[in-house]
Structure 1
Amino acid sequence: MRGTEVVSDPTNALAVESAARRQRQGHTGEAHLAAVHRVLRAQDFGPGASAHFRLFTLVSSARDAGSGRTEARLLTRHLAWWRTVLAELAPSAAPRLHVTVLDPVVGERLADTVRPALAVDGVPLLDEPERQRGRGYYVGCALRLTLHDGALEVGDGGFTGWTARLIGNAKERCLVSCLATERLLAGRVDE
């Protein structure tokens, strides 16, 4: 049966495991999970893109501490990880991190907490207020990882309400993000 496994999004599966761990932990715990999985998607991604590809995914969840502090902590963790990965694996491919603020409180924490924590030279963190894709799917903020000054998207993510719904607690926060490994490799062919 192993040869017949199909997953369309490993972040969903990690969110289920994250919710189970969070229920056992209590209010002060956090869950941070990662996985690499081949996925199959039914939608058409356009010319040169495959519906069958590998994703490296991160899922983090924790209880809301108020005033967007939990969101800031989780966002800093994911963005710092992706910044390091992109800087090490594709330094000459002009990697970029993009963020679209969907909630003003998260926007405040992005300005006063996340950006200062990431204030080092390297992969820039750019605002992308015009992004429409993912609105309604993501809450708080959405992320994109790109190469070649934004021309090639290699990753995506944002906050979801998945663990909050699974646990039945609106105070739960869940951040998911992923990187398409084949796109990353294709984007750094000039290195």
Structure 2
Amino acid sequence: MKKIGKHIINKLDLQDIVDVLSDKLSGSELSTVLLDVFDKRIKRENPASLLNKYEANILVKPIDIDVVKIKEYELYCYKALADGGFEPMELSPVAQIGTSSVVATVDQKKVLTALRNTEVQADPTNAIALHYASLKKKGELKNRTYNYCNISRVIRTQAFLNPIFTPHFSVLCLISCGRDTGSFNFEKEELLKQMLSSYAICREVFGLQDAYFEIIPCKGYDKKSSLIVDATSYIRENNKQIFQVSIVEPDCENNYYKGYRIKLKIVLDGSVYEIGDGGLLDWTQQLLANKKERMLTMGLGFQTAYRLSEKYGKR
């Protein structure tokens, strides 16, 4: 992508244009210029060209899915999660520009950047972290842990090698934000809460019965680290053997999660499907400049779970 951009700039002899647009203009000034640019470009279009461009654009196509059924699943999930202590949130279809890349490790080029200082929603987790941090900064939250949930259709612009992956898809997110209270209490208690809720969603909503969790130590931690040992012991002691959890080999290359990563997997007809991914993040620490802040997330492939449920589920 960078090479293509440089080629275009060199071809048109516009070496300074990127610096001018990125460094010399304020956000509102840049939006005004780009609005004028796109207004002029759109005025050159006609119905025939619009249709041709629609047909060539994979980002804008609807997907083949039973809308009524998947919306019913969404409602079941929201009700179950609300009963489990997670506050459902309805997010804007756009987020503040930089939401996906400033505190996380996502390349902005994989996000559909829009005008007026926004980007199309790419990950509800990031948007909710920003919402929580804003409320916390303004003193509108009490000193306790807040649990949120959201189901959104998000869009990613990177190329997918797997033909079953679509540019836009539904994802279910669980987000827990709060303060460190010592003895890894947040890291243990919120992990158990998210595991219980996501496990219940798999079994009771989607009918995917054979599910289990893996805890993956991240950079700086291993199977013997106190955080990993304490969290795993707590889960095993308090889930009443509802589900299985195991510690797997550390992922020392991962820079996204901090401490541990979680994976939720299901077994169907002898095949294993990874359906959930999450872990500890330092995003609220960065946003609030406070090392005492804690954040845990779990993202479940809602659309994938729905398709597997329709094929294999026993609800």
Q: Same fold (TM over 0.5)?
A: yes
Do residues 83 (structure 1) and 202 (structure 2) align?
Answer: no
- State which of 297, 302, 305 in structure 2 corresponds to 1:181: 302
Partners of 2:247 and 2:93 in 1: how far apart? 42
Deviations 1:46-65 (Å, cap 9, x if unpaired)? Answer: 32112210111111111111
Seen in structure 2, the aligned counterparts of structure 1 residues 2 and 17 have a Cα distance that, compared at 3 Å, is: closer
Deviates more, 1:107-116 or 1:48-57: 107-116
Partners of 1:179 and 1:127 in 2: how far apart? 20
Q: TM-score, normalised by structure 1?
A: 0.86
Q: Secondary structure, in 3 states, of the residue corresponding to 1:36?
A: strand
Do residues 20 (structure 1) and 134 (structure 2) align?
Answer: yes
Q: CA offset at residue 120 of structure 1?
A: 2.4
Seen in structure 2, the aligned counterparts of structure 1 residues 89 and 19 have a Cα distance that, compared at 3 Å, is: same
Alignment: residue pair count: 188
RMSD: 2.5
Q: How does 1:24-173 map to 2 (within 5 A)?
A: 24=139, 25=141, 28-47=143-162, 48-92=164-208, 94-102=210-218, 103=221, 104-121=225-242, 123-129=243-249, 131=251, 135-148=254-267, 151-173=272-294
Q: CA offset at residue 124 of structure 1?
A: 2.1
Deviates more, 1:50-59 or 1:103-112: 103-112
Partners of 1:97 and 1:42 in 2: how far apart? 29
Structure 2 residue identity aligned to 1:125: V
Partners of 1:80 and 1:49 in 2: how far apart? 27
Give unmatched runs, 5+ long, in structure 1: none
Partners of 1:179 and 1:50 in 2: how far apart? 16
Q: Secondary structure, in 3 states, of the residue corresponding to 1:120?
A: coil
Could you tell me whether the CA contact under 8 Å between 2:184 and 2:231 is conserved in 1? no
Q: CA offset at residue 79 of structure 1?
A: 0.9
Q: Which has the higher strand share?
A: 1
Greater Rg over alpha carbons, structure: 2
Q: Which has the higher helix share?
A: 2
Do residues 11 (structure 1) and 125 (structure 2) align?
Answer: yes
Q: Secondary structure, in 3 states, of the residue corresponding to 1:115?
A: helix
Instruction: Flag the structure with more relative contact order, 1 or 2, with Cα contacts below 8 A and sequence separation at least 6.
Output: 1
